């Protein structure tokens, strides 16, 4: 069955470790788009951290969509019109913040345009995230994070070993209440229960009149699992986690070796 939509993760998938799109990946995406295949960037990043790649790949035409915040937001790239938006409530914020304090783990909170932290000793991984996704970082006390803040996601962040222990200490009831994904060794993301890359992919495919069996997803990290499970064809990068590799239908080369291009050429355009 022909592939009509390709969902592509950014970090560790679309771009190299130095943040670049190789010429091969650029060419493959342009060829697929010219053949009428929908190319949808599907990422945990907020929109400011995606814009330059949408521009570079010519993915801001009418009818183009992007999935950000791990499925918390789906919108048209040309107009910014939102199709899906799932946020966290103020009560959610207080519950997540209380758990982070109890577990002694760094935490930050992301809205549409700013990353906030209540940690006086700001984690270097929070600073890294702000730089990576091109968003301002601001310190606010818990009391200053009011109900007016529209929170899209929150992230527990710390050294890999520390964060692993923290995740094992989180009650199952908490994980059942929210969507929780480990998007990197030092990032544990917490979102509205309805938000996931997989749910967003299913909803977008339906909106576009594309059967889910006609979709392909390419990823490397555990926050990609839901979209890989949802897609008709799941592609794992060579640098993917073992969880991702285990459920993939297709294995491609690494992000540093134009794995996305090879998957598109072989599966979509081959």
Note the pLDDT of residue 270: 86
**Nearest-angstrom CA–CA distance, 161 and 159:** 6
Active site (annotated) includes residue 92: no
Our measurement of the distance from residue 46's CA atom to the centroid of its chain's CA atoms, rounded to an integer in Å, reads 8
Could you state, in order of their start, the residue ranges of all structural domains in the chain?
Answer: 5-85+195-268, 90-191
> Encoding tokens for residue 147?
């109900």
Question: Beta 187-191 vs 215-219: how paired, if at all?
Answer: unpaired
At residue 156 the predicted structure's pLDDT band, cuts being 50, 70 and 90, is very high
Decide yes or no: CATH 3.30.1240.10 for domain 90-191. Answer: yes
**Band of residue 54 on the pLDDT scale cut at 50, 70, 90:** very high
Summarised one tens digit per residue, pLDDT across range 74-114 is 999 999 999 999 999 999 999 999 999 999 999 999 999 99
- CATH number of this structure's domain 5-85+195-268: 3.40.50.1000
As a whole number, the mean pLDDT across the chain is 96
Chain CA centroid to CA 216, Å: 16
* Long-range contacts of the stretch 143-146 (C-beta < 8 A, 24+): 145/90, 145/93, 145/97, 145/109, 145/116, 145/118, 146/90
User: 252: closest CA among 209, 204, 219?
Assistant: 219
0.75 exceeded by pTM: yes
Question: Residues of the chain with pLDDT > 90: what percent?
Answer: 98
pLDDT of 40 strictly over 80: yes
Q: What is the mean pLDDT of residues 156-181?
A: 96
Query: Which pLDDT belongs to residue 1?
Result: 66
User: Which of 10-14, 132-136, 208-212 has the weakest average pLDDT?
Assistant: 132-136
């Amino acid at each position: 069955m022909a592939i009509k939509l390709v969902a592509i993760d950014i970090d560790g998938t679309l771009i190299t470790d130095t943040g670049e799109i190789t010429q091969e990946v650029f060419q493959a995406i342009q060829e697929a788009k010219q053949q009428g295949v929908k190319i949808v960037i599907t990422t945990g990043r907020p929109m400011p951290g995606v814009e330059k790649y949408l521009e570079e790949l010519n993915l801001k035409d009418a009818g183009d969509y992007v999935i950000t915040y791990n499925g918390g937001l789906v919108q048209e790239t040309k107009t910014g019109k939102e199709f899906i938006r799932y946020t966290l409530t103020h009560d959610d914020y207080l519950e997540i913040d209380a758990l982070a304090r109890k577990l002694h783990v760094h935490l930050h909170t992301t809205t549409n345009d700013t990353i906030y932290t209540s940690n006086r000793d700001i984690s270097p991984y929070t600073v890294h995230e702000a730089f990576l996704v091109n968003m301002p970082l601001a310190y606010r006390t818990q009391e200053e994070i009011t109900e007016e803040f529209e929170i899209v996601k929150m992230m527990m962040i710390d050294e890999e070993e520390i964060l692993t222990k923290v995740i094992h200490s989180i009650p199952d009831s908490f994980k059942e209440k929210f969507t929780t994904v480990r998007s990197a060794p030092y990032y544990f993301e917490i979102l509205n229960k309805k938000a996931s890359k997989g749910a967003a992919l299913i909803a977008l495919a339906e909106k576009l009149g594309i059967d889910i069996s006609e979709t392909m997803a390419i990823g490397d990290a555990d926050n990609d699992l839901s979209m890989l499970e949802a897609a008709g064809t799941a592609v794992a990068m060579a640098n993917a986690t073992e969880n991702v590799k285990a459920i993939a239908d297709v294995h491609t080369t690494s992000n540093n070796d134009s794995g996305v291009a090879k998957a598109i050429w072989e599966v979509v355009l081959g």
